[in-house]
């Protein structure tokens, strides 16, 4: 019995270290969305990832939080594509037509019956989405543009935390 308890305690300890510890580098509230540049530190192997996260309440389900997570460290193409798609959608909004800009990481859609822009999570994760007004979309564009502009500063901060992590 004692051996089983020790084994379970060790397993729990390994599981705790296998989970990333998120650190928020910058955060913003835009409409109903919580936007952040988030660093996930993997303590078990001393590495970290840098992501832009846009978390929102799924419009269809009040207790369902969804996140669009985009890689800021290694590949900013999805972020620049989201900026471009949001810019296009703000121009097309109100033209009485359905339009969609699709990507593996997110979808942006407008419908002729609504004066809103819809941001959908990755299609492989489901159909969670949130509504944005034109002004909220413009604020999100500005915030995302700032994350690209400050990318090197965030990466330097991330590398500094790796040095601290490796000295522990």
- Percentage, residues of the chain above pLDDT 70: 75
What pLDDT does 12 receive? 46
What pLDDT does 134 receive? 95
pTM of the full structure: 0.77
Q: Indicate if the pLDDT at residue 35 is higher than 80.
A: yes
Tell me the mean pLDDT in the region 93-114.
91
Mean pLDDT of the chain: 80
What pLDDT does 152 receive? 80
Alpha helices in the chain (DSSP H): 2-18, 77-92, 134-149, 151-166
What pLDDT does 122 receive? 85
42 vs 27, residue with greater confidence: 27
The residue extents of the domains of the chain are: 19-166
CA distance 93 to 22: 36
What pLDDT does 14 receive? 46
What pLDDT does 20 receive? 66
Q: 3-state DSSP call for residue 18? A: helix
141 vs 50, residue with greater confidence: 141
Tell me the mean pLDDT in the region 97-114.
91
For the domain with range 19-166, which CATH number is right: 3.30.450, 3.30.2450, 1.10.10, 3.30.300?
A: 3.30.2450
CA distance 36 to 27: 4
Tell me the mean pLDDT in the region 8-32.
67
For 55, phi then psi, to 5°, come to -105, 135
């Amino acid at each position: 019995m004692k051996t089983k308890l020790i084994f379970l305690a060790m397993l729990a300890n390994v599981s705790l270290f296998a989970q990333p510890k998120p650190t928020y580098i910058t955060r913003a509230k835009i409409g109903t969305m919580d936007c952040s540049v988030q660093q996930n530190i993997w303590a078990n192997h001393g590495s970290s990832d840098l992501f832009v996260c846009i978390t929102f309440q799924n419009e269809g389900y009040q207790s369902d939080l969804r996140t669009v997570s985009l890689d800021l460290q290694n590949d900013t193409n999805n972020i620049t594509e989201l900026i471009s798609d949001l810019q296009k959608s703000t121009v097309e909004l109100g033209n009485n037509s359905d339009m969609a800009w699709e990507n593996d990481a997110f979808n942006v859609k407008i419908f002729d019956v609504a004066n809103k822009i819809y941001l959908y999570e990755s299609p492989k994760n489901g159909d969670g989405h949130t509504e944005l007004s034109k002004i909220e979309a413009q604020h999100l564009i500005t915030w995302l543009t700032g994350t690209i502009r400050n990318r090197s500063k965030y990466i330097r901060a991330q590398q500094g935390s790796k040095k601290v992590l490796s000295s522990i």
